[in-house]
Amino acid sequence: MKRALSRSLPVVCLAASIACSQGGESVQLEDPPRELYLSKAAHEYVEFSGVQAELREALLERDMLLRTESVARILQQLGPDSAQDVFEVFETAWLDQGSTELFLLAEWWARFDPHGALEWAEGEARTAQTYVPYQVMRSWATHDPQAAFARSLETSYLKPLRQHEYRDAVIGGWEESGRQEVFEFIRDLGPGEQRQRAIRGFARRMVLREGLETSFAWADSLPEEDRLFKLNVIRRIASHAAKEDPVQTAAWVKKYENTYHFRSLPQRVSIQWAHNDPVATMKWLAGLPEGRDTDLGVREAFRVWTRLDYDGAVAWLESEPHARYKDEAVALVARHLQIGEPERAIEMSREIVNEDTRIGTLVTIARSWGVQDKVAAEEWVNGTSTLTPKQKKLALTYGERWRRSILIAAEKRARTDEQAAQERLDDMSDPAFADDFTVRELLGTWDEPASPENQQLRLRELRKARAAAAGAGTATATDAEASEGDG
């Protein structure tokens, strides 16, 4: 209780200071009292001497830069024999979740007892859900990378993303150690997700550390014997280099036109470039060879553009005659218009040059239209459309999952509010809104985003309403069931 009270004091002091402001004048807040940096644990008033007292004094320094410098300097001078003394002092300092001092402790501890440091970092409330465990793995890898990587493979108890972050931290620490065999180790992992992720981290650090020219030259120099490995390295270098300088990266990847290594490069460069200059991005894509890789680049770059400035992107698309390279951009807008404006979407799709893209887009629009207005969709498909019998059958055939997805999209487009959503759920004649999947979807469409706690409450209430409408009496959702709506 005392510790909880001490953590609330800074907020109370700040609120009191602000309340003292008069006439809108700014208030100069005083430095918080030194006592606020003391832990309220039972051993708060333990007297320390020697290096313990020095470390305690450093942890109480209010200036973060001075505090970090002092704590790091002291820890650098201590070895494993001082571990218990260090832990005792750290227990008396008020340290918030993920504090810099905890990273320093993890770095120091992992140098002589990485297993113990990792167990602490994963179990301590102030470090478990932070990057501190990664710091342990990184430090461990600087002196025993093989053991650290082996330990990173024993993390099935973690979520997949954190497992990968552990391994990325190991590769990063391995690089910092200066050992040259790290790249050979990555290569020898063999094809698969594990090697892909290792390449990603390695490439990112190389671009940041060595710069673009050196990174490009290194990727170019890789032997062709393992062309899949070289392809993945070039891809990752391009992705990270484009974040730094998309123009220079675009000039580099152009040399790989009409080669095996060109695969997905337009997409990787254009996604980054479109954030800064979408017009220049589309102009560059227009000069690339026709094909799937350029089409993917156009589609994803235009997708970025529409998210940043939909009206501006559409205005550019309509500002000049259609060209083949714009096919995927037109298809993207048409698929956006299929909800609510299917006739306009169809008219726009007729401009698409590539037959497969055009037919695929028209069929998708027709299937969406069929959910919204079945009669009108059938009239177009069987009347003025130029679809083949096989394509017509596909355009008029869709399952319940597709129907639900279109209805949900229509609800989102109409900015459904909570009351309307509940009315639809209460209408048991509409099967599109009769399962938990749809309930969770609707929870994300209300105008005001719901907190996880409110989502659970709303989900329980909606289930009760649905059960009552079905004549099932009172329905009670368990905590596990209700939490499904949190994701």
Question: What is the pLDDT at residue 367?
Answer: 92
pLDDT above 60 (res 283): yes
Which tokens in the block code for residue 36? 């606020």
Query: 41 vs 51, 93, 106, 230, CA distance in Å?
Result: 21, 9, 21, 56
User: pLDDT class for 34, splitting at 50, 70, 90?
Assistant: low
Query: In this predicted structure, which of 37-41, 90-94, 242-246, 482-486 has the lowest mean pLDDT?
Result: 482-486
pLDDT above 70 (res 196): yes
Query: 211 vs 207, 267, 271, 412, CA distance in Å?
Result: 5, 21, 20, 44
Contacts of 482 (CB under 8 A, 6+ apart): 456, 459, 460
* Residue 470 three-state SS: coil
Query: In this predicted structure, which of 42-51, 333-342, 432-441 has the lowest mean pLDDT?
Result: 432-441
Question: What is the pLDDT at residue 458?
Answer: 52
Domain residue ranges in the chain: 402-486
User: pLDDT class for 73, splitting at 50, 70, 90?
Assistant: very high
- Round to whole Å and give the CA distance between 316 and 281: 12
Segment 132-137 mean pLDDT: 94
* Pick from 303, 312, 246, 321: nearest CA to 280: 246
* Pick from 208, 151, 142: nearest CA to 175: 142
pLDDT above 50 (res 33): yes
Query: In this predicted structure, which of 13-22, 149-158, 354-363 has the lowest mean pLDDT?
Result: 13-22
Segment 250-270 mean pLDDT: 94
Segment 386-414 mean pLDDT: 85
Question: What is the pLDDT at residue 300?
Answer: 94
Q: Which residue has the higher pLDDT, 292 or 47?
A: 292
CA 151-155-158 angle, to 5 degrees, is: 150
* Backbone φ and ψ of 77, nearest 5°: -90, -10
